Amino acid sequence: MAKTVKVAVEEQITSSNDQIAAANRAKLAEAGVFSINLMASPGGGKTSLILRTVKALKGEMRLAAVDGDVVMVDVEKIAAQGIPVELVNTGGDCHLQAHMIANVLPKFDLESIDMLIIENVGNLICPAAWNLGADKKVVIASVPEGDDKPYKYPAMFRGADVLLLNKIDYLAVQDFDVEYFKRGVEALNNDVAFFPVSCRTGEGLDAWFDWVRGQVQRKKA
Amino acid sequence: MAKTVKVAVEEQITSSNDQIAAANRAKLAEAGVFSINLMASPGGGKTSLILRTVKALKGEMRLAAVDGDVVMVDVEKIAAQGIPVELVNTGGDCHLQAHMIANVLPKFDLESIDMLIIENVGNLICPAAWNLGADKKVVIASVPEGDDKPYKYPAMFRGADVLLLNKIDYLAVQDFDVEYFKRGVEALNNDVAFFPVSCRTGEGLDAWFDWVRGQVQRKKA
């Protein structure tokens, strides 16, 4: 009974969320901003990927970030790179919603941004169900989490446009069958761009940077 | 507006959840079963800890497990150890709820179980808000997730009765400040039993096994 009530209300909210997401998307498109919704487990490497990406690309494009979190620590790390960044304090909520992005967008000068990175809450389940209006959903999995994650968190992997397998430097010290992992992903999603990387060593990140460059150029064209 | 509706309904459901959790607790207590609600991020080591615990203790106590998941793979691994185990198929839900446990308890012969291990969904946020009726909340954090997790996921660490820091063998290959991690935990929770372990190497697990033995004996006394 309680369960039924919950589902009905969530469907209603998700539908309203999709309308706000569409408005976010239109607003970002009008300003020519390429945007990503970055999702991962806690500790998967979202902030590390953002820091690596900003360091590599801030000389050639104008970046900005939104961080869905309960503390300022990641915001400060990203701001130290000299790009605009805003905290969306989720107050412990398990995912970002489109209205949170709608509320934060006016704090940015969108006309002077080429790429907006939205760092979602560390969670491999809930964020998958909530459109934010970003152009691409980017999911990070990481080697220490194990090679079975696509099988256990299918919604997240099914919805990804891009999948980064982070911490590949740990492949030397951990049993992780990359082919088993990839088969799990391919069973859900034939259309995902796949980048094995290490945000610690930098390995593999050039291919990710090239993908970002291509997306930003396409948005401007 | 949508947000307000969601909060109101969730409170109502949580209250009903607490009533079912209390009934679960009474049922388990009557049968003398010691139970834990085991929570962690995806890939933190829940199943590994269960397998280690079952292998070490099945000769001296009667164990059983419930696995909240969408696939049978962990259930099969645990069942291979020769203990009763049941899947609660969460269908992609982000946490277990008390009614799911109430529905699965009749499948067990509780009178012939000393300890029931409930493996929650891999998620460091949502499960913290939902009582299942277990005696103790056991949280696993793991070294590759990073030393900042208590600061970012406070509800989970605040509610823990026991905290295992798993994958301590990775301390050799990763920057992880154990004191910073512990300070973050202590700021939230002065009353947590803390066990640094590696489910891969077995290091530190004897102290956890002793804690389990003590709890099971106390329940029988």
Rounded to the nearest 10 degrees, the angle between the axes of helix B46-57 and helix B205-220 is 70
Segment holding A101, helix H or strand E: helix A98-104
CA distance B93 to B113: 28
CB contact under 8 A, A17 and B9: no
- Residue that is written with structure tokens 């949508």 in the block: B2
Question: Is B94 close to A9, i.e. CB distance below 8 A?
Answer: no
Which of B165, B152, B151, B162 shows the shortest CA–CA distance to B199? Answer: B165
pLDDT at residue B13, rounded to an integer: 72
Flag whether the ipTM exceeds 0.85. Answer: yes
Sheet holding B193-196, edge to edge: B85-89, B63-69, B115-119, B34-40, B136-142, B162-166, B193-196
Is residue A5 less than 8 Å (CB to CB) from chain B?
yes
Return the number of other C-beta atoms located less than 10 Å from residue A102's C-beta: 16
A69 interfacial to chain B (CB closer than 8 Å): yes
Angle (nearest 5°) at CA A163 between A157 and A168:
115
Q: CB-based contact (8 Å) between B71 and chain A?
A: yes
CB contact, 8 Å: A91 with chain B? Answer: no
- Cβ within 8 Å, pair A126-B122: no
pLDDT digits 0-9 by tens, A95-128? 999 999 999 999 999 999 999 999 999 999 999 9
Q: Is A122 on the interface with B (CB under 8 A)?
A: yes
Is residue A7 less than 8 Å (CB to CB) from chain B?
Answer: no
User: Does any CB of chain A come closer than 8 Å to the CB of residue B170?
Assistant: yes
* Chain B contact for A121 (CB, 8 A cutoff): yes
Q: Which residues of B touch A154 (CB under 8 A)?
A: 70, 92
Angle at A71 between CA B95 and CA A56, to 5 degrees: 100
Tell me if chain B has a CB within 8 Å of the CB of A41.
Answer: yes
Residues of chain B under the 70 pLDDT cut: 1-11
* Distance between CA atoms of residues B179 and B157, nearest Å: 15
Cβ-Cβ contacts under 8 Å for B20 (sequence gap 6 or more): B97, B98, B99, B101, B102, B133
Q: How far is A187 from chain B (nearest CA, A)?
A: 14
pLDDT of residue A184: 98
DSSP 3-state assignment of A73? Answer: helix
State the pLDDT at residue B41. Answer: 98
**Chain B residues touching A92 at Cβ < 8 A:** 125, 154-155
Instruction: Search chain B and give the residue with CA nearest A68.
Output: B152
Contact B122 A41 (CB under 8 A): yes
Interface residue B70 vs chain A (CB under 8 A): yes
Q: What are the start-end ranges of the H helices in chain B?
A: 2-30, 46-57, 73-79, 98-104, 149-152, 154-158, 178-188, 205-220
Give residues with Cβ within 8 angstroms of A219, minimum separation 6.
Answer: A32, A33, A34, A114, A135
Decide: residue A115, CB within 10 A, 0-12 exposed, 13-18 middle, 19+ buried: buried
Contact residues on chain B for A146, CB-CB shorter than 8 A:
43
State the distance between the two ends of chain B, measured CA to CA, in whole angstroms.
Answer: 52
How far is A74 from A64, CA to CA, in rounded Å? 13
Interchain contact, B144 vs A17, CB within 8 Å: no
Average pLDDT on A63-88 reads 96
Cβ-based neighbour number of residue B140 at 10 Å: 25
Q: Rounded CA gap, B144 and A192, in Å?
A: 25
Q: What is the mean pLDDT of chain A?
A: 94
The answer to whether residues A126 and B126 touch, using CB atoms and an 8 Å cutoff, is yes
One-letter identity of residue A200: R
pLDDT of the residue at B6 = 56
pLDDT (tens digit per residue) in B111-150: 999 999 999 999 999 999 999 999 999 999 999 999 999 9
**Are the CB atoms for A78 and A51 separated by under 8 Å?**
yes
Give contacts of A16 with chain B, Cβ < 8 Å: 2
Extract long-range pairs of B109-113: CB within 8 Å, 24+ residues apart.
B109/B84, B110/B27, B110/B28, B110/B31, B110/B33, B111/B31, B111/B32, B112/B62, B113/B31, B113/B33, B113/B62, B113/B63, B113/B64, B113/B84
Q: What are residue A198's phi and psi, to 5 degrees?
A: -130, 115
pLDDT class for A2, splitting at 50, 70, 90?
very low
User: How distant is the Cα of A207 from the closest Cα of chain B, in angstroms?
Assistant: 24
Two tokens, residue A112: 């002077």
Which residue reads 């489109």 in tokens? A98
Instruction: Determine the pLDDT at residue B14.
Output: 72
> In which band, very low, low, confident or very high, does the pLDDT at A140 lie, cut at 50, 70 and 90?
very high
